[in-house]
Amino acid sequence: MSLLDDPGVSSPAPGACGDRKPARDRAFIRVTGLEACYHGKPAVRGVSFEAYEGEQLSLLGPSGCGKTTTLRCIAGLETPTAGEIVIDEQVVFSAEQNIDVPSERRSLSMVFQSYAIWPHMTVFENVAYALRLHKERAGALRTRVTEVLRMVGMEALIDQPATNLSGGQQQRVALARSYAFLPKAILLDEPLSNLDARLRVRMREELKRIQRQFRVTNLYVTHDQEEAMALSDRIIVMREGVIAQVGKPLDIYDAPRSRFVADFIGAANILCGRVTEHRPGEALVVDVNGAKLVCAPRAELPRPNAEGEYLVAVRTVYPELRRNFEGAGVNCWPAFVKERLLLGDIVNYMVEWPGGMLRIHGFPNVLFSEGERLLLHISPERAVLVDADD
**Residue numbers at the binding site for another protein (CB under 8 A):** 75-78, 102-110, 112-120, 129-130, 133-134, 161-163, 167, 170, 177-178, 181, 183, 187, 194
Complete edge-to-edge strand list for the sheet that includes strand 356-362: 320-322, 373-377, 332-342, 347-353, 356-362
Nearer to another protein, 162 or 284 (CB): 162
Burial of 315 (0-12, 13-18, 19+ CB in 10 A): buried
Nearer to another protein, 49 or 181 (CB): 181
Nearer to another protein, 117 or 244 (CB): 117
Nearer to another protein, 38 or 336 (CB): 38
184 with 52: CB under 8 angstroms?
Answer: no
Min dist CB 105 to another protein, Å, is 8
Residue 144, φ and ψ in degrees, nearest 5: -65, -45
Q: How far is CA 204 from CA 8, 58, 253, 373, in A?
A: 16, 13, 19, 41
Min dist CB 167 to another protein, Å, is 8
Min dist CB 212 to another protein, Å, is 23
Min dist CB 151 to another protein, Å, is 18
Nearer to another protein, 163 or 276 (CB): 163
Distance CA 378, CA 116 (A): 48
Min dist CB 127 to another protein, Å, is 11
Nearer to another protein, 77 or 328 (CB): 77
66 with 45: CB under 8 angstroms?
Answer: yes
Min dist CB 109 to another protein, Å, is 6
Nearer to another protein, 162 or 347 (CB): 162
Min dist CB 122 to another protein, Å, is 12
Min dist CB 37 to another protein, Å, is 12
Q: Which helix (H) or strand (E) holds 60?
A: strand 56-60
SS3 141: helix
Min dist CB 36 to another protein, Å, is 12
Nearer to another protein, 194 or 316 (CB): 194
Task: Report the residue count for the chain.
Answer: 390
Nearer to another protein, 100 or 320 (CB): 100
CB-facing half-sphere around the CA of 331: CA atoms within 13 A: 19
Min dist CB 363 to another protein, Å, is 39
Nearest to 296 by CA among 256, 349, 250: 256
Distance CA 43, CA 101 (A): 21
Distance CA 390, CA 385 (A): 16
Nearer to another protein, 186 or 375 (CB): 186
Complete edge-to-edge strand list for the sheet that includes strand 185-189: 108-111, 185-189, 217-222, 56-60, 234-239, 242-247
Distance CA 315, CA 303 (A): 20
Burial of 165 (0-12, 13-18, 19+ CB in 10 A): buried
